[in-house]
A and B are shown apart, each in its own frame.
Chain A
Amino acid sequence: MDKSKANLAVDLKGLACPMPVLKTKKALDSLQPGQVLFVEVTDKGSKADIPAMLRRTGNELVEMDEKDNVFSFLIKKVK
């Protein structure tokens, strides 16, 4: 995953549901449409939770990766 493409990187490791979703959404709200967000979490539910939130808010999951129990997401703000 190319983290350098991101306009903003947020570290949410160690947080439990619902905080990763809330903080990911808050970070997205601070971006302009077209900009890219990079998020890292350790909460296992986020693998399903963050894509669900993105689907419902009309934003785009560009890439998801899992390595050493850390999930990383590259997200494009659509609206």
Chain B
Amino acid sequence: MEEKKKRMAIIASKGTLDMAYPPLILASTAVAMDVEVEIFFTLYGVDIVNKKKYHSLQVAPIANPAMPSPVPFPNILGVLPGMTGMATMMMKGMIKKINWPTIPELLHVCLESGVKMIACTPTLEMTGLSKEDLVEGVEVAGAAEFLDFALDANISLFV
């Protein structure tokens, strides 16, 4: 008899460019290690699988003192117009420097390798989205579906 596959269950709740990477990196790597993975996208996390938004996720410099800056920079200045765009541009530059895939590229690697992706139904209702607004291959379900998968998981993460 073949050994039962290990499982990882992830909740992705953030919709910023930086926080979109950890769930997708872990999911794609886990599949390469023969682990079965489900990611449940909820709240802002749904942006990661939103066809219209996943190409243009951004980084917010405000309230993020860890954001690297070429010059000393009081964090409060992050409220100024254009700062989010600037931080996003910087982050994209850093990502490119290490040859990381973009979020859409990584998302499609995950989907093609069999990562199960679920978008949270109340979030979709709240934001007026439907399954057609999501990247192809993403399913729609609620908390019980995630828990049903996560109850048998070896690793459960909330991002």
Contacts and interface: CB of A to CB of B under 8 A. Distances in A.
Interface string A57-77: 100000000000000000000
A22 interface: yes
Interface in B69-115: 98-101, 109
Interface of B: 25, 28-29, 32-35, 98-101, 109
A18 B29 CA distance: 6
A22 B98 CA distance: 16
Contacts of A57: 32-34
Residue of B33, B34, B98 contacting most chain A CB atoms (<10 Å): B33
A65 to B, nearest CB: 22
B28 A18 contact: yes
Interface of A: 14-19, 21-22, 24-26, 52-53, 56-57
B99 A15 contact: yes
23 contacts: A14-B99, A15-B99, A16-B98, A16-B99, A16-B100, A17-B25, A18-B25, A18-B32, A21-B33, A22-B29, A22-B32, A22-B109, A24-B32, A25-B32, A25-B33, A26-B32, A52-B33, A53-B29, A53-B32, A56-B33, A56-B34, A57-B32, A57-B33
Contacts of B35: 56
Contacts of B29: 17-18, 21-22, 53
Residue of B32, B33, B34 contacting most chain A CB atoms (<10 Å): B32
A19 B99 CA distance: 9
B27 to A, nearest CB: 10
A49 B33 CA distance: 10
A15 B109 CA distance: 15
Nearest to A55: B33
Contacts of B100: 16, 19
